Amino acid sequence: MNLSEILKMLQKKSNDPPQAPAPPPVPVYWVETSDSVSHHFQFEPDGQLSVKIVDDARPASRRMVESFLNKFFPSGYPYSVNEGYLRYTQFRALQHFSSATLSVLSTQSLLFAAGLRPTPAQATAVSWILKDGMQHVGKLICSNLGARMDSEPKCWRILADVLYDFGTGLEVISPLCPHLFLEMAGLGNFAKGMAVVAARATRLPIYSSFAKEGNLSDLFAKGEAISTLFNVLGIGAGIQLASTVCTSMQGKLVVGPLLSLFHIYCVTEEMRATPVNTLNPQRTAMIVADFIKRGRIPSPADLRYQEDLLFPGRLIEEAGSVKVGRPLHNVVKPSQLHQVKEKFPEEKFILNRGTKWTDMILERNATGEDALKGWLVAAYAAEIEKTLHQTSSDPLEEAYERTVNVFSPFLSELQAKGWHTDRFLDGTGRRFAL
């Protein structure tokens, strides 16, 4: 192509009419309607998704209720949480309300005992200062008990509130003995310090038992929002009581115990509603007992109201009356150790049957599955001795054969019911390593 042809082509292009600019892209949007609410969704030019409500036919009362649920309950409630969460939340709110109310009265009493005459508002302000001192000592002592709290979070959560109310009670009655002000205030804050550590340490396993869709952070955030709301309401109620009914010591001695009893009742109902899904000695024994007696495996929600929150270490006869974690030298003589271990050489547990109970000691790296298997062997052995009147030469061997036959389907169904079998939380129970 020569130069003249190139010039002709350029001249032809310059004479062509200008092309119209490309039309802007059509916005991508859609409208979704759910429960009388229409939402307009649209992708912005920068790629962001915007959402606007275009029509809301819900009554005002329903909008308020749903707004409350969105702020104080996890997203997707009630389908995103496990059974019992609503009852747990109701009593948790009442527990925080009564605790905050009682705290205002106790702080006012402490200041009276110190020779001051504060207003209720001053009592709430000074309460933050009085939480220091001996409270830190209580926190340090209670921090050494974390393993036991993992094993029995419900019991320790109740104990935390009992300790808190004990400390608060000492503060309430402190004006009766003003010469012992420092002793009463120090002991009260010491008990409350232990209570704070126990309450915080048990919070995570309790919230985890309700998490159903990996939404633990959402559960935690909404739970703390409810606690904060009812703490504020409780402080308001405490200020009102301190200004009226509880201006005298007699009024405090009547209202204080009533609030404390209501407080303990609420936290007990909270814990009863909590379906903890980890294996500890009590829950393992209850699972095995239900399986031996009825041939079924209970879910965490099935067992929550059957747990003994006062005496969790009680023996369950239907589960073989098993004790876990006693010191090895108290269970087996050193000369008999290898003989006992050889009964189940491939397993990570040792069983030693006594006249009143069966001792089970786990290896250091034993899991919840190992504890379940050992417990089943002990339960079957007790059943064999009871039904056959010791006609079997060694009930443990026969019990082990039964356990091996049923253990795989037993474990599969247990996991399907929501139980976590990867760990066995035996508190401070002793374990062995050979």
User: Quick check: helix, strand or coil at residue 240?
Assistant: helix
Residues 6+ apart with CB under 8 A from 34: none
> What pLDDT, on the 0 to 100 scale, is given for residue 131?
47
- Indicate left, alpha or beta for 343 from its phi (over 0: left) and psi (-120 to 50: alpha): alpha
Task: In whole angstroms, give the CA distance from residue 334 to residue 311.
Answer: 32
Q: Is 102 exposed, middle or buried (0-12, 13-18, 19+ CB in 10 A)?
A: buried
Mean pLDDT (10-residue bins), the chain, 434 residues:
56 54 59 58 65 66 74 76 86 87 80 64 50 65 78 93 93 85 81 89 89 85 90 91 88 92 94 93 94 92 92 88 86 79 87 88 90 93 79 76 92 93 84 74
Q: Is 352 exposed, middle or buried (0-12, 13-18, 19+ CB in 10 A)?
A: buried
Condensed to tens digits (0 to 9), the pLDDT of residues 311-358 reads 888 888 889 899 998 888 788 877 777 888 888 888 899 898 888 899
Element (H, E) at 162: helix 153-172
Q: Which residues pair with 43 in a beta bridge?
A: 49
Whether 153 and 282 have beta carbons less than 8 Å apart is answered as no
Residue carrying the six token digits 């749903």? 66
Alpha helices in 77-152 (DSSP H): 85-113, 120-130, 134-142, 146-151
- Starting at the edge strand found earlier in the chain, the sheet holding 29-34 runs 29-34, 37-43, 49-56
Here the tokens at position 50 are 């915007």
With residue 421 as reference, give the H or E element that holds it.
Answer: strand 420-424
* Model pLDDT, residue 384: 87
CA-to-CA separations, 33 to 28, 48, 64, in angstroms, rounded: 17, 21, 19
Q: How far apart are CA 71 and CA 431, in angstroms?
A: 46
What is the H or E stretch that residue 431 is in? strand 431-432
Rg from Cα positions in the chain = 32
Rounded to the nearest angstrom, the gap between the alpha carbon of residue 421 and the centroid of all alpha carbons in its chain is 17
If DSSP codes are grouped into helix, strand and coil, which group holds residue 203? helix
Considering the entire predicted model, what is its pTM?
0.75
Token digits for 413? 């169904």
User: What integer pLDDT is reported at residue 62 of this predicted model?
Assistant: 72
